[in-house]
Chain A
Amino acid sequence: MKNESILLISLIFLSLLIPLSGNKYLLYLTLKIWILILYAIAFNVIFGYSGLLSFGHALFFSGSAYALAILVVKAGYSLPIGFIAGIAAAAVFSVGVGFLSLRHREIHFAMITLAFSMMFWGIVMKWRDVTGGEDGIAGVPRGMPIFWFYYFSVAIILICAYIIYSFVRSDIGLILEGIRENETRVRFSGHSTLKYRLYAMIVSGTFTGVAGSLWAMLDRTVTPSISHWSFSAMPVIATLIGGPQSFLGPAIGTVIYVIAQDVITKYTLYWQFILGIVIVSVVLFFRGGVMGILEKFLWKR
């Protein structure tokens, strides 16, 4: 744990220096990583801690981004109201999807979350008057220069990450892991497994929504690509690369994923090919992800 903390704090500190460098591209890329880290960590509450593979988290991400964009750009509300409403929208979506999907397990859970998110994608594509269809909504304000927006976002992301951390370390988190390992036993000890899974879904969906709202402000446009199912696959891959069984795994996976994508696409058009090989070898040989390797060889606990 000590090694992890030192690594973590130095990395956070390093990233705080980035805006000072004055390199706009680097700033944008780093903030993108930060937001996707929150996305992956929030996703992993449902995946790693509750053992349910959601293939529809893009719904919460884009649901929040669209709610913000529609309220602020189309309806003329102020940015803070849009930001809060975006997060609230994600929370509402997660309650709804949670109620309807959590009775299912494994493939069926993955499929029903996929179905709901693609339903939303269909609505976004077709309801042009409100969502702008394929073009999306442009002109989302940030409310401040990007320099300050960076620190604002990082502060929010760190607070959210801390809340998620407290959640998975709480009694509820423990019960969730218990359900993941042996649902019947947890039921026998008198807990409603559905209730706890719903808590996990709400936490996961709501914080995914925070990431989505920040993304809308960073990008200043919201397009249907963030509600497509391939955007739901992103945190799955990142979590798997980093290691689903630890809190920081998804964060590390996201950093590797985004930087690798950025670097590889500079040299070759065929970045998916390399990503495919990485995914296949992770599943075949390193199922614990990067964190699993670190724990096994470096930090023998």
Chain B
Amino acid sequence: MDLNAIAFQLILGIASAMLYWIVSSGLTFTFGVTRVLNFAHGAFYMLGAYFTLSFFALTQNYLLSLFLGAVIVALIGAGCERGLISRIYGLPIPFQLILTFGLVLLFDDLVRIFWGSVPKMMPAQFIGSINVFGRILPVFSLYLIFAGVAIALVLYFLLSKTDWGVEIRAITVDPETAMCSGLNPAFLYATAFMFGSFLAGLGGGLYLPISSASPGMGEHIIIYAFIVTVIGGLGSIKGAFVSALIIGIIESLGALFVPWMTIALPYIALSAVLLVRPEGIFGEE
């Protein structure tokens, strides 16, 4: 096994880690604020992919479609929060998981109705590739890494430098005091959910140049997002970034050294972390 192969695999691993990170960041952020673990986050990811696809057919501009798709998904997310999820705040976790699981089934079939059951591809984008360590690396992998880091920076800026971010953090840490100081929880929860859904939609759109969109694609990613979120510590954005990297790298190196067990590696990592540190790497309590 030469070092070049390992370094190359590492880059691929980081690229797929960035996709996990973008999706998980939205999940863990929404959970941190609203304390609802949203199964439908994967469905929003799927919707993001499909809306991006449709906007691309109209505009032929990938970046614009990506943004518009994520915006639509954010609006759908806000609608779900106001209409359904806001009614179950404070209920036991099983009810939240199951209600949002119901949404997954609903959205899966809605996609089948509107876009059909056959997986859909976007016309090839970013066809270029570059030569890294003597191997061919699709140029999109680099864009993905760039997008992941950019989103991390935007999240950091939003949460630490803007009024909205400070208010969100206030209501996360101590909802009662935050409300007493005049913050509007309904507005904050709805916008937090909207933002989380936006990130899910973005993730779905960013997946398109890699592979096709299909109904049920959200179910695969949501399991990964759960794993990443739990390993990082529920509600911890920093944790999601670190654990997404861990999972992505474990998977890509695993494909090199132990290909027969790659499929089980994320679950092994999750079990190991939960047994040693149940609250996750950056979790509290």
Point out residues on A near B: beta carbons under 8 Å. 47, 53, 55, 100, 103-104, 106-108, 110-112, 114-116, 118-119, 122-123, 125-126, 229-230, 233, 236-237, 240, 269-273, 275-280, 283-284, 287
Closest to B280 in A: A108
Residue B219 at the chain A interface, CB threshold 8 Å: yes
Which of B84, B107, B261, B263 has the largest number of chain A CB atoms within 10 A?
B263
Q: Helix, strand, loop or mixed for chain B's interface? A: helix
Q: How far is the CA of A138 from the CA of B224 in the complex (A)?
A: 31
Closest to A278 in B: B102
Closest to A269 in B: B112
Contact yes or no, A116 B113, CB < 8 A? no
Contact yes or no, B234 A107, CB < 8 A? yes
Which residues of chain B are near A103, meaning CB under 8 Å?
278
Pick the residue among A106, A114, A279 that contacts B98 (CB under 8 A). A279
Which residues of chain A are near B92, meaning CB under 8 Å?
106
Contact yes or no, B264 A119, CB < 8 A? yes
Q: How far is the CA of A287 from the CA of B267 in the complex (A)?
A: 32
Query: Assuming A271-B109, A272-B108, A280-B103, what are 5 further A-B pairs, CB within 8 angstroms?
Result: A47-B94, A115-B274, A276-B105, A277-B106, A278-B102
Closest-CB distance, B172 to chain A (whole angstroms): 17
Contact yes or no, A276 B261, CB < 8 A? no
Please judge, given known A-B contacts A106-B93, A276-B103, A280-B84, whether A229 and B109 are in contact too, CB under 8 Å.
Answer: no
Could you list 23 examples of A-B contacts with CB < 8 Å? A47-B94, A53-B93, A104-B278, A108-B230, A108-B278, A110-B97, A119-B264, A119-B268, A122-B264, A122-B267, A126-B260, A126-B264, A236-B98, A270-B112, A272-B109, A276-B104, A276-B105, A276-B106, A278-B102, A279-B99, A279-B101, A280-B106, A284-B88
Q: Helix, strand, loop or mixed for chain A's interface? A: helix
Contact yes or no, A100 B275, CB < 8 A? yes
Which residues of chain A are near B113, meaning CB under 8 Å?
270, 273
Contact yes or no, A108 B274, CB < 8 A? yes
Closest to A277 in B: B106
Q: Please classify how large the interface on chain B is, using the bins under 10, 10 to 19, 20 to 34, 35 or more.
A: 35 or more
Residue-wise, chain B 84-126 has the 8 Å CB interface mask toward A (1 for contact) of 1001100011110111011111111110110000000000000
Point out residues on B near A: beta carbons under 8 Å. 37, 84, 87-88, 92-95, 97-99, 101-110, 112-113, 219, 223, 226-227, 230, 234, 260-261, 263-264, 267-268, 270-271, 274-275, 278
Which of B84, B101, B107 has the largest number of chain A CB atoms within 10 A?
B101
Please judge, given known A-B contacts A272-B108, A279-B105, A280-B103, whether A118 and B95 are in contact too, CB under 8 Å.
Answer: no
Contact yes or no, B270 A115, CB < 8 A? yes
Closest-CB distance, A260 to chain B (whole angstroms): 13
Closest-CB distance, B267 to chain A (whole angstroms): 4
Closest-CB distance, B216 to chain A (whole angstroms): 9
Contact yes or no, A112 B223, CB < 8 A? no
